[in-house]
Each structure stands twice: as C-alpha cells, then as structure tokens.
A = this chain, B = another copy of it.
Amino acid sequence: MGVGPGSEDYLPPAARRALEQAEVIVGYHTYLEYLGPYLVGRQVVTTGMTEEVARCREAIRRAEAGQQVALVCGGDPGVYGLASLVLELLAEREGPDLPVEIIPGLTAALAAAARLGAPLGHDFAVISLSDRLTPWEVIERRLRLAAEADLVLALYNPRSHGRQEQILRAQQILLEYRPPQTPVGVVQNVARTGERWWISNLERFTGLPIDMATTVIIGSRQTRVLDGRMVTPRGYRL
C-alpha cells in the first residue's frame, strides 16, 4: 500500500482502512514517521532503505504466519515502490496462495505538479534517474527519446549523496531538444515538513537544491509560466 507523499491530507479511506485493519505494519522508517497514530497497538517492522527485498520477504513471512500485514511505501506502491517486488517474490513461492491487495497512492509527480500549477496537463513520462538497479545507458536512451517525443518529464530520484552527475547529464540531453528557457519545476518534500518549490528553467534549475526527496518536472515545448504557475495547455481554444 501507498501512503502518498506524506501528509495525512492525501491518505484516502482505502489506505486508512488497511492501516487500521493491519496487525503488522512493515516499512522503511521515513514513511512510517507519517503514520504515528496508526502505529499504536500494532507490531511495526522497519528495515533500511536499501533492504527492499528483506522488507518484502518479512512481510510475506508474517502473512504466511497468518497475520494481516500492511507493507507500506511512500507515494504509490506501484510507481518505483514495492508492489512489483512483492508480486515477484510471491510468484516464486511454494505453497497455497496468499491473498494480496495493492492499494494505490498519490505518487509524488501528481502532488508536485499540483503545487507548481498544471505541468502534467498533457502527455508525460515518468523516469527515475537512479542507476542503482537500471543501467545508465537505458536511462539516458529513455531521456533522449522522451525529449524527442516532446513529452513533459517527471524525474524521480534525481540526485542522492552518492549520485550527483545524473541530473546534470539529463539537463544536457534535454538542452539538445528544448530551449534553455523551457520551464522546469523543482519540488522538495512535497506535502511533508520542509516543503519547498521553485519554478526555474532548463538552463538554470540544476543550481537549486535537489536531493532524493525532490521531484523535478521538465516542461515540454508547449509548457508556459502563467502568473507564476507552470502550465502545459491541453490545447483548448480560449
């Protein structure tokens, strides 16, 4: 299940119910921070950020033992979350099927876009810049083709302590296809403590604070800044 970007404002009833019904909540501690009231009276299992496989296996082990388990991700479990991993692990498992429900959540791109205005108002691509699990050549090729397709781009995992260069490389690629003045939105900690956002442009946005808790939205050739908001028109005749 996903808990959305953080604030309980974006936790829909389906997700709330799953938390309330769970006997065990399994998750990475950052996401659990936002679930304070739901943790009371429940077993809580946390693992480190890079221990995704261990976390999913533990959730499955608990479910096999008959417990009702909520495996918690930030945002949407289906978008760079644990839904695909847990389904892979369940498929390679012997024994009777375990009932599983995927509860979607508001992924960061949608929450970030709402802060910026309406940058995802037309066709877009969602691409992660993390090359921990995907070869950089694949990522670069996708960036290049999405840029050529004039899709708006929502970039996840744009920069981390150990990965500083990917966002600069993405910028260079995009500049081959779009003007330097193309609007770019940068949203940090969306719907969490410390939320900040900026509207910049393709030439300059890499000077802004960008980290793992940041979503970067790069406009298409149609994207405009109107009254301080980033807008990709759908094409209505006004």
Which residues on A are within 8 Å of B, measured CB to CB? 4, 7-14, 52-53, 76-81, 83-85, 87-92, 97, 102-107, 110-111, 113-115, 117-128, 133-134, 138-139, 141-142, 145-146, 148-151, 226-227, 229, 231-238
B125 touches A124 (CB 8 A): yes
Instruction: Give Cα distance in the complex from A150 to B141, angstroms.
Output: 9
Residues of B within 8 A of A141 (CB): 149
Measured CB to CB, the nearest residue on chain B to A135 is B235
Which among B76, B114, B139, B151 is the interface contact of A142 at CB below 8 angstroms?
Answer: B151
A106-B104, A145-B146, A145-B149 are contacts. A123–B125 as well, Cβ < 8 Å?
yes
Q: How many copies does the complex hold?
A: 2
Minimum CB distance partner of A115 in chain B: B102
Chain B residues within 8 Å of A233, by CB: 84-85, 88
Whether A83 pairs with B121 at a CB distance below 8 angstroms is yes
CA distance A78 to B139 in the complex (A): 25
CB distance from A185 to the nearest CB of B (A): 12
Q: Give every chain B residue within 8 A of A148 (Cβ-Cβ).
A: 145
**Contact of A97 (CB < 8 Å), options: B92, B150, B227:** B227
A234's partner among B84, B121, B125 (CB-CB below 8 A) is B84
Additional A-B contacts beyond A76-B114, A122-B134 (8; CB < 8 A): A80-B122, A81-B118, A104-B113, A123-B125, A124-B126, A126-B126, A145-B148, A146-B151
Cα(A231)–Cα(B7), bound, Å = 28
Minimum C-beta distance from A9 to chain B (A): 4
Interchain CB contact under 8 A, A123 and B114: no
- A-B contacts, 21 of them at CB < 8 A, read A7-B14, A12-B12, A53-B237, A78-B110, A78-B118, A78-B120, A83-B121, A85-B121, A87-B118, A88-B233, A91-B231, A102-B114, A102-B117, A102-B118, A104-B106, A106-B110, A107-B110, A125-B126, A133-B236, A142-B151, A145-B146
State the CA gap A237–B50 with chains docked (Å): 12
- C-alpha spacing A238/B233, complex, angstroms: 43
Tell which of A9, A128, A150, A234 has the most Cβ of chain B within 10 Å: A234
Q: List, in ascending order, chain B residues with CB within 8 A of A142's CB.
A: 123, 149-151
Q: How far is the CB of A218 from chain B (nearest CB, A)?
A: 14
